[in-house]
């Protein structure tokens, strides 16, 4: 299996692809997975046997919406041509039975279209994987009108997997897609997180021993407001019931991170780390979570059954806000909006309330965390259809 993740910024795409790859090789001993990624920190993660990666040159999205090379002193057009060449050559040599593309049907600026056409002609199963929420329908419609991926969904892709449930969101709502495309869609459920077998990095990173609240803005590139709000709540309220562990994320600006560290140093019950590649183990130890609400964090909250307060971002897309709102309606989390300001006492009240807040498991949502099992069943079916020898024990098929 070949997996593509464009990864211009953040951790979400890479961590989702890694979770799927690890789950599949654990279930099928003859499977190898190669991940194509532009993430600058992919080498910081551990990978299981039979999972490897090819790091393509990184790019970063600028505030004006344009892209620039992350590290190389090269024109963005040259970098994109080089990325496309590496992707196509890797695809041709690796010759996968299944090719899963994360989120971007044509890749960054269309860089995987040639690879899709070559692999499709060879009979590779072409699969698009989408998170539960893409954006609000109007914004997504405008974006897809510009990128024009619909013809690829019609003629190239065999399947579209949605890593969520329809009662939370239809990620392609409002696009006016044909019935032939709709028939390719399968809602898998959310992806269960798998803790590392290694000792949790938290034990070496902090002296906190009592239950703590984990504060996470994901990759941290746009999480400064959340961190400032939480620190302010602890500065103004010395009686909060739990200490806090703040995980800044590897993409937070170094200057801002150090400013936060100076404030945290004056607080007795707040500690901070920058990044832990075994983040699932931090989540498993926490008494509760305050987060921005990206896809992977939401899956970890569900997996480890943590009471959570989600403070979603509203820019550059409404993905987190839509997810948090729907999850709150289902009773899975509590949402706290900063749309009308960040009053320290409102955050303090949310922190106090975590101890008495319901856990996600208090709500029965059929199929909520069955994503990895369902993806495995589908992969087995696809390989079977290509005449591959299956493992002795085969799970039942997935109902569309």
Q: How does pLDDT run across 147-167, given as a tens digit for each residue?
A: 999 999 999 999 999 999 999
Torsion of CA 204, 205, 211, 212, to 10 degrees: -170
**Which has the closest alpha carbon to 158: 378, 3, 367, 384?**
378
Query: Do 2-192+369-385 and 202-362 agree at the fold level?
Result: yes
Would you say 220 and 252 are in contact if contact means Cβ atoms under 8 Å apart?
Answer: yes
Contact predicate 374/161, CB 8 Å: no
Residue 107, CA distances (Å) to 5, 56, 156, 245 in order: 8, 13, 13, 36
Q: Which CATH architecture has domain 2-192+369-385?
A: 3-Layer(aba) Sandwich (3.40)
Cα separation, 282 vs 214, whole angstroms: 8
pLDDT in tens, 228-259: 999 999 999 999 999 999 999 888 999 999 99
Q: What is the pLDDT of residues 299-355, one digit of tens each?
A: 999 999 999 999 998 887 899 999 999 999 999 999 999 888 899 999 999 999 998
Q: In what order do the strands lie in the sheet with 2-5?
A: 51-55, 33-37, 2-5, 98-102, 125-131, 159-163, 185-187
What is the spatial distance between Cα 102 and Cα 81, in angstroms, rounded to a whole number?
Answer: 20
- Which CATH architecture group holds 202-362? 3-Layer(aba) Sandwich (3.40)
Residue ranges, the chain, pLDDT below 50: 199-205, 388-400
Domain range list for the chain:
2-192+369-385, 202-362
Q: How far apart are CA 144 and CA 154, in angstroms?
A: 14
d(CA 375, CA 33) in angstroms, rounded, equals: 14
Q: For residues 256 and 262, is the Cβ–Cβ distance under 8 A?
A: no
Token readout for 242 is 């739990």
């Amino acid at each position: 299996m070949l997996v593509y993740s464009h990864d211009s910024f953040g951790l979400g795409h890479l961590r989702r692809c890694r979770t799927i790859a690890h789950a599949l090789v654990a279930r099928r001993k003859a499977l190898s997975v190669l991940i194509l990624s532009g993430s600058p920190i992919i080498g910081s993660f551990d990978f299981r046997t039979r999972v490897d990666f090819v790091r393509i040159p990184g790019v970063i999205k600028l505030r004006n919406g344009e892209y620039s090379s992350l590290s190389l002193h090269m024109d963005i057009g040259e970098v994109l041509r080089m990325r496309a060449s590496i992707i196509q050559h890797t695809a041709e040599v690796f010759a996968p039975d299944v090719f899963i593309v994360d989120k971007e049907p044509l890749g960054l600026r269309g860089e995987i279209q040639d690879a899709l056409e070559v692999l499709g002609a060879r009979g590779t199963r072409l699969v698009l994987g989408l998170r539960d929420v893409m954006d609000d329908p109007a914004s997504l419609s405008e974006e897809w009108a510009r990128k024009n991926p619909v013809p690829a969904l019609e003629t190239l892709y065999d399947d579209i997997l949605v890593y969520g449930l329809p009662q939370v969101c239809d990620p392609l709502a409002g696009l006016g897609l044909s019935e032939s495309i709709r028939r390719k869609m399968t809602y898998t459920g959310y992806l269960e997180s798998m803790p590392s077998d290694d000792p949790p990095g938290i034990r070496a990173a902090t002296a906190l021993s009592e239950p703590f609240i984990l504060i996470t803005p994901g990759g941290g590139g746009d999480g400064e407001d959340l961190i400032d709000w939480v620190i302010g709540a602890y500065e103004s309220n010395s009686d909060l019931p739990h200490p806090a562990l703040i995980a800044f994320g590897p993409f937070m600006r170094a200057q801002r991170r150090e400013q936060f560290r100076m404030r945290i140093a004056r607080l007795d019950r707040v500690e901070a780390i920058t990044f832990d590649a075994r983040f699932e183990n931090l989540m498993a130890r926490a008494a509760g979570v305050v987060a921005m609400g990206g896809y992977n964090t939401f899956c970890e909250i569900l997996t480890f059954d943590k009471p959570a307060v989600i403070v979603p971002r509203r820019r550059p897309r409404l993905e987190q806000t839509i997810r948090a709102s729907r999850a709150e309606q289902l009773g899975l989390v509590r949402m706290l909006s900063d749309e009308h300001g960040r009053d320290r006492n409102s955050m303090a009240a949310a922190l106090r309330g975590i101890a008495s807040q319901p856990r996600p498991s208090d709500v029965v949502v059929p199929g909520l965390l069955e994503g990895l099992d369902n993806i495995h069943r589908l992969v087995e079916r696809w390989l079977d259809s290509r005449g591959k020898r299956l493992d002795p024990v085969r799970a039942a098929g997935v109902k569309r």
